[in-house]
Structure 1
Amino acid sequence: MDMRESSRQLIDEVELLLANARLRDELEPYRDDSIDTSHKRMSLQAENEYLASMLAWERAPALPIAEWFSPRLELTPPESLSDDQLPVVLHQTIAKLFSKRIILRCTDHLSDRELYKIIFRDILTCCEKKVEVPEKALEWLCVEDTETWLRYYADAVERRRYQEEHDVELPPSETPPFRRQLPGN
């Protein structure tokens, strides 16, 4: 290692330490029992990324998801869409949600109309923190009950574990009727 490389590494380390101190200072007003600082030792770079994501979370506004868009995302009511219009509008809506890093999971048991209704009624009206952290996404599970999850999405290990924990009869495992390929899945 030559002198310039050694000097550059020292400068990088100092910059990371200064950034770490700044992030910790900025997080101080938010400190409470929910912020765990006893985490296992990680690299300074990884710790700074972790602290930056915590700070982004704390500062993020909680808004209805429809307001994450400019202009506000307004959808046509489900009952106003014909069976021909619905798949096109649904596809466009899912793409818009994905553009804001909202990923839909466990949708294959729902018809297009049922999924659209969930987006219209539940997702767009739900207040969530709009966190601007690269590589992070809001994942929305479109399963409203355990039986549906067990029937269509739980693997053999999850099914067995659930049965052992709850001592219940499980629904039969089935292939979901509406297989779809969604962005982010």
Structure 2
Amino acid sequence: MDIRNPHLRTLDEVELLLANARLRDELEPYRDESIDSSTGEMSLQVENEYLASMLAWERAPALPISDWFSPPLQMLPPEALGDEQLPSALRQVIGKLFAKNIVLRCTDHLSDRELYTVIYRDIMTCCEKMVDVPGKALEWMCVEDTDTWLRYYASPVERRRYQEEHQVDLPPSAEPPHRRHLPQ
């Protein structure tokens, strides 16, 4: 008789239940009704992953993104970089951000210098929770206004919905001028 099949499943379930109880105990100081209401339809394994990610979020420090790196990431000011240096500096910093699970979205409307400036001015100085949860990333949308999003990134359905909801004329749809293939 293979002892692993029926007993292993029971042991796994017990371990999952024990882990669930431990996670709920650790989340108790942060508890609100959202924990119970959002876990109702989940399997125990998925619920434990969800609770672990919530606990990681609650315990994570909020730091400027530049301080997520050891030593803190220092960038040259955009005006200190010549046109020849800029593409390499931009690729390097995007790679370092991606290594920390920071993914840039909607960048194709920005020139390299504009994107570098957004990273330097907005992203590196922004305080965010430094959460290390496998498979999760901090997504940074590099669009500052609705017109740009509607023009370059919104799908036809999103454009139609926006127009119906706001009763406004939309900017014409266009291809972004700076196609990039950033790490995802």
- Give TM class, smaller chain: over 0.9
Who is 2:101 aligned against?
Answer: 101
Counterpart of 1:38?
37
Residue pairs, 1:53-132, within 5 angstroms = 53-132=53-132
Which residue matches 2:16?
Answer: 16
1:136 match: 136
Task: Tell me how large the CA RMSD over aligned residues is.
Answer: 1.1
Q: Which AA in structure 2 matches 1:136? A: K
Per-residue CA deviations over 1:20-70 (Å, capped at 9, x if unaligned) read: 00000000001135x331233211111100000000000000000000000
Residues in 1 aligned to 2:21 and 2:83: alpha-carbon distance in whole angstroms: 57
Whichever residue aligns with residue 87 of structure 2, its letter is: P
Q: CA deviation at 1:104?
A: 0.3
The runs of at least 4 consecutive aligned structure 1 residues that moved more than 4 Å come to none
Cα pair distance change 1:143/1:5, threshold 3 Å: same
State the identity %.
Answer: 72
Tell me the distance in 1 between the aligned counterparts of 2:12 and 2:141. 41
Q: In the alignment, residue 133 of structure 1 is paired with which amino acid?
A: V
Give the count of matched residue pairs: 183
List runs of 5+ in structure 2 lacking aligned partners: none
Give the TM-score normalised by the residue count of structure 2.
0.97
Take 2:165 and 2:37, find their aligned partners in 1: how far apart are those partners?
31
Q: Deviations over 1:119-170 (max 9, x none)?
A: 0000000000000100000000000000000000001000000000000000
Unaligned runs of 5+ in 1: none
TM-score by length of 1: 0.96
Question: Which residue is equivalent to 2:163?
Answer: 163
Matched residue type, 2:35: D
Q: Distance in 2 between matches of 1:5 and 1:126?
A: 50
Q: Which amino acid aligns with 2:60?
A: A
Structure 2 distance, partners of 1:30, 1:110, is: 40
- What displacement does 1:3 show? 4.3
Taking a change above 3 Å as real, the CA distance of residues 88 and 6 of structure 1, as seen in their structure-2 partners, is same
1:137 partner letter: A
